[in-house]
Structure 1
Amino acid sequence: MDDKRDKILKVAVEEFAEHGYKAASTNQICEVAGVSKGLIFHYFGSKEKLYTAAVEYSIDLAMVEVPVSDMPVGDFVQMAIWSTKQKLDFSKKYPAVFQLIMQSFASPPPEIAEKLASYYAELMNIQDIYVNQIFENITLRADVAYEDAHDVVVGLFEYTIKLATEYMQGHPDATMEEMQPLGDKFMNMMAIVERGMVEK
């Protein structure tokens, strides 16, 4: 990557992360990056395209720093805990990059929301791959819709990630073994889903 373009992107990530898309100033980006406004528009064409490029840059960095190929395979709970730990470690190492990723995912600028959604679709598919692994090993009752069962499992998965995130925020050096109770809790909740919780 061109050094000047790379410098502009890094500064843009900081500016967009701190101020959001609308309030971010291309003049400030120019000043901090030490380039002219004309050079920014030479490389990116518009503020909108600069924001999109900054998000792409951030996602690419996250994929390099936390390669999906390193994710535990075959253990849904371990995957949830691993991904949460990686997310927290990444957020500490690259706070502005992490903030921009979260910002662009949760509340993207309306004019580029559709384009950004396509970037995140692949990341969301990774979760579905692991959710689907669970359904490969079970047979649903005839009166249970797959979509409803899928949503229940995803809900448990997201709840487990929430618990893991809260735990690791208070115990940043926690090992996977120390977090096993979260895995046990997930499996207990899954057992309730499978067997039901009302005495018949």
Structure 2
Amino acid sequence: MYSKFLNLEQEKQDRIINAAIKEFAQKGYERASTNEMVKAAGISKGLLFHYFGNKKQLFLFLFDYCCRILAEQFYQKINLAERDFFTRIRQAVMIKMELLTTYPDLFTFIEEAYLEDSAEVKVEVDKKVKVLSDANFGKVYEGIDFSKFRDDMDIKKVLKIITYTFEKLSEEMLSQAKLSPTHHIDYEKGFQEAEVYFEIFTTCFYK
């Protein structure tokens, strides 16, 4: 679907992507202006729609693009040879903080996409989020040394408890951001709260 765009020289692709990401991140899907995007990218509106078809397809393309870039960077940095469950998860948290600093616009766009209420894109985004969550769940836990957990524990249930806890924390962070005028997600506060749960879970579930 996007072959014409992907055949462009990289510099032009980057200009279009960066302009569109910034506009969507700042204004959300409904209020984002394709006129502003093409102005910032230095192309015509006709060309933008020639490459992507419409605003919705552009938005969904960018969501996939941002997730792919961040996932590639994340898995390049994380040490999947680390077998301790909580050490690995803490490592993941620190990498996320590093990526937040390196790619702030990508994270802002993804945050807005997660919070997006527009019926035009919400269903598709929610489906993509579920697929990503399921895929990353398995990969992040791959190779973990579960022998460190107490013998009287059902590991599957323990992982569900931990996963549900952090999913709930994420939901609360998103809800708070949605109520905020800036839609800013306080990751530092979230990571500090997560650390409290890490300590509790280590005490409860490890031998």
- Scaled by the length of structure 2, the TM-score of the pair is 0.67
Q: What's 2:72 paired with?
A: 64
Q: Give the 3 Å change call, closer, same or farther, for CA 49–85 of structure 1 in structure 2.
A: same
Q: In 1, distance between residues paired with 2:77 and 2:129?
A: 18
Q: Please say which structure displays the higher CA radius of gyration.
A: 1
1:104 and 2:118 correspond:
no
Q: Do the aligned partners of residues 78 and 43 (structure 1) sit closer, same or farther apart at CA in structure 2, a change above 3 Å counting?
A: same
Counterparts in 2 of 1:32-181, with a 5 A limit? 32-67=40-75, 70-72=78-80, 73-107=82-116, 109-125=118-134, 126-128=136-138, 130=141, 150-157=159-166, 165-166=188-189
Question: Identical aligned pairs, as a percentage?
Answer: 24
Unmatched 5+ residue regions in structure 2?
Answer: 1-5, 174-186
Q: Does 1:20 align with 2:35?
A: no
Deviation of 1:108 (Å): 5.4
The Cα of 1:165 is off from its aligned counterpart by: 4.1
2: distance between equivalents of 1:132 and 1:160? 25
Q: CA RMSD in A?
A: 3.6
Q: CA deviation at 1:120?
A: 2.5
Q: Which amino acid aligns with 1:51?
A: F
Please say if residues 52 and 116 of structure 1, whose CA atoms lie closer than 8 Å, have aligned partners that are also in contact: yes
**Residue 9 (str. 1) matches residue 9 (str. 2):** no
Name the counterpart of 1:187. 202
Cross-structure match for 1:176: none
Q: How many residues align?
A: 176
CA contact (8 A) 2:84 2:145 kept: no
1:31-85 deviations in whole A, cap 9, x for unaligned?
1111110010000110111111111111121122212673444222122211111
How far residue 134 of structure 1 moved from its aligned partner, in angstroms, is 8.1
Residue 25 of structure 2 aligns with an amino acid whose one-letter code is A
Question: How far 1:94 moved relative to its partner?
Answer: 1.4
Shift of 1:102: 1.9
Gaps of 5+ in 1: 170-179, 195-200
Relative to the length of structure 1, the TM-score reads: 0.69
Aligned residues of 1:16 and 1:100 also touching (Cα < 8 A): yes
Distance apart, 1:189 and its partner CA? 3.8
| Amino acid paired to 1:93 | T
| Matched letter for residue 126 of structure 2 | A
